[in-house]
Chain A
Amino acid sequence: MTTTLDAAPAVSSHLHPRASWDVADHPTPTGREEVWRFTPIDRIEPLFLDALSGDNLAWETSLPDGVRIEPISRDEARERSVEPPADRIAAVAAHNAGYAALLTIPEGLELDAPIVIAGTGRDDHVKEHLVIEVGRRARATIVLRYRGHAQFMAKTDVRVGEGAALNMVLVADWDDTALHGGQASYLVGRDAQVRTVAVSLGGKVVRLVDTARFDGPGGSIEQYGLYFADAGQHLEHRLFVDHNEPHTSSNVDYRGALQGEGAHSVWVGNVLIRANATGVTTYEQNRNLVLTDGCIADSIPNLEIETGEIAGAGHSSTTGRFDDEQLFYLMSRGIPAAEARRLVVEGFFADIIRRIGVGELEEKLMDAIRDELAVTVGGAS
């Protein structure tokens, strides 16, 4: 049932380091490597440690009928994976995970209620490998939610079967002391629809690598992201969509706000359209709203096209402060400056939040954004 993708032709690009299960193939980064040059190596160093850990997050799960989660061996997890680790954090996580977990959504199962997996850290050092298999024509929403303090390394592999629809929401709402790194790999089946929403609010350093590729033509992946970097926080999202099949589509839209001295966000969006992948549609955008002085937003879209027959491809990246015209318009109707700014930021994120599709969570996140904004913009009057 599984397809091995190790045989997929490697791409001759510095953007895609050689993937390998062997930790030795991923030397500890120095910060000079292309893919590590934005990351604060000194602060993320604990995530490079190649050692077993018995710690675990305190898990609370909500599994609708028909959905199974079970432990599997490290070898089985490798066999079921989409691809080997692309970097040291993922390699260390997979190699040293106490056990791997397999979440199965059977073929044809259509779920209205979300699958919720919430982990709370209690000063733990946790390595994890999670494999998710979504059966053909199944439809589900999965919410992964992280809180508390932890050093958390995760390798996640998601196989989405033919014609299935998966909505995957990841909320990193850690304490501001947490370290979180990892790799999530999606294999999108023929005509399958995958949507991911990554929300990064907490954590001292968060570095998430997402890769996506296709197991047949007609699949689509939409990836949305929302992040709010405060003083001293580093939030990094690296995405790679590999259009290895024809008539596939991808749409990436990540939006972030930054406030406070040393707030740092990194967004790298790589899209590759291979020679055989004709009729592809892709668009990626990253928008950053800088709320105060002293913030850095790095934003790098890359588009590699190896075929002349594309349906549409583009990208955009904008980083800026508040739009004076928007604030003027709102204030000209009597709305005080602080509230006008709050409205604009909420509006900026509303487009991402509404993609989550879990009403209660959408409201909680809007509240969380209001709390973040109260720091610099001022609370609601």
Chain B
Amino acid sequence: MSLEIRDLHVDVMTESGPKEILKGVDLTINPGEVHAIMGPNGSGKSTLAYALMGHPKYTITSGSVVLDGVDLTHLAVDERARTGLFLAMQYPVEVPGVSVANFLRTAKTALSGEAPKVRTWVKEVNAALASLDLDPSFSARSVNEGFSGGEKKRSDIAQLGLLGPKYAVLDETDSGLDIDALRVVADGVNRYLADGTHGVLLITHYSRVLQYIKPTVVHVYMDGRIVASGGPELADRLEAEGYEQFEARADA
């Protein structure tokens, strides 16, 4: 039981042809673990998140992603989600005219194979929203439309709690949040982790979030690959000394 990423190579399509962004990523996340990925801007952190979820802009050219024994590499986005993968995006997408309630019910139905029970479901949705400090009125609003940056992030984490995927990739969920919102979001992630059956890949630019979500492992990620891994103390070292010390290794 684990999320195993093996020698993952990923291209992005550009105007001048395919360009390799991920250059061999290896990572194993076990249930109950939080793996933090830290790296400078432009190192391809978001590409890793998108490629894992199967965004059409990115192509896995070699390597594999296996979730609890199921090879995701050639599955469609929705099939990956139904296998148990979740992505909280750095910029959650607005879907005008589709209410949060309709979206969540449709997602829950697709994931569990049956429509949720009307009576308990509405309560569950409201509780999930409330736990992220979102008013029940968000149910009636269009998905992410007119939400503030922080509300979008909180809505994504409310979905995490409600949909309960096996593994979650959180792509810079902490960026753009003030300290109060960061605590609310971290509490949501910690509740999701509480029973030890879920794993998290936490992609971040700042070590601040790691004060609230305790990482099992910290990986330093540069130029499309992991160049160093260690315990939580590695994040402190990055904060104090920056990424320069790892640049030589990335070039190697």
Contact = CB atoms under 8 A, between A and B. Distances in A.
A347 B96 contact: yes
Contacts of A329: 89, 92-93, 95, 143
B181 interface: no
A334 B165 CA distance: 10
B56 interface: yes
Given A339-B110, A343-B103, A332 B77 contact: yes
Interface stretch (A175-183, A240-248, A348-356): A348-356
Q: A334, A349, A351: which has the most chain B beta carbons within 10 Å?
A: A334
B95 A343 contact: yes
A336 interface: yes
B78 A340 contact: yes
A3 interface: no
Nearest to B85: A332
B102 interface: yes
A350 B78 CA distance: 24
A344 B98 contact: yes
B76 interface: yes
A347 B95 contact: yes
B76 A331 contact: yes
B81 interface: yes
Nearest to A380: B106
Contacts of B98: 330, 343-344, 346-347, 350
B96 A333 contact: no
B97 A351 contact: yes
Interface in B73-90: 76-78, 80-82, 86-87, 89
A332 B95 contact: no
B97 A350 contact: yes
Contacts of A381: 110
Contacts of A349: 97
Nearest to B78: A331
A351 B99 CA distance: 11
B122 interface: no
A141 to B, nearest CB: 22
Contacts of A337: 76, 78
Nearest to A255: B97
A349 B97 CA distance: 7
Nearest to A329: B93
Interface stretch (A16-24, A58-66, A129-137, A320-328): A320-328
B95 A344 contact: yes
A328 B93 contact: yes
B107 A335 contact: yes
Contacts of B80: 332
Interface string A251-286: 000000000000000000000000000000000000
Interface in A98-143: none
B81 A334 contact: yes
A339 B96 CA distance: 15
Interface string A356-381: 00000000000000000000000001
A259 B169 CA distance: 36
Given A324-B56, A328-B56, A328-B77, A333 B97 contact: no
Contacts of B89: 329, 332
B19 interface: no
A351 B86 contact: no
B111 interface: yes
Interface in B199-214: none
Interface residues of B, number: 30
Contacts of A340: 78
Contacts of A324: 56-57
B249 interface: no
Contact of B78 (A334, A344, A346): A334
B65 interface: no
A344 B95 CA distance: 7
A295 to B, nearest CB: 21
B159 interface: yes
Given A343-B102, A343-B103, A332 B97 contact: no
Contacts of B142: 347
A335 B102 CA distance: 12
Nearest to B163: A333
B56 A333 contact: no
B185 interface: no
A336 B57 CA distance: 18
Contacts of A333: 81, 86, 103, 107, 110-111, 159, 163
Nearest to A381: B110
Contacts of B86: 332-333
A280 to B, nearest CB: 27
B149 to A, nearest CB: 16
A315 to B, nearest CB: 19
B55 interface: yes
Given A326-B93, A333-B103, 19 more contacts: A325-B93, A328-B56, A328-B93, A330-B103, A330-B106, A330-B107, A331-B76, A331-B81, A332-B78, A332-B86, A332-B89, A334-B78, A334-B81, A334-B107, A335-B81, A348-B96, A348-B97, A350-B97, A351-B96
18 contacts: A328-B56, A328-B77, A329-B92, A330-B103, A332-B81, A332-B87, A333-B81, A333-B110, A334-B78, A334-B81, A334-B82, A334-B111, A334-B163, A339-B110, A343-B95, A346-B98, A348-B97, A350-B97
- A-B pairs, top 6 by smallest CB distance, nearest first, are A347-B97, A350-B97, A333-B107, A329-B93, A334-B81, A331-B77
Interface of A: 324-326, 328-337, 339-340, 343-344, 346-351, 381
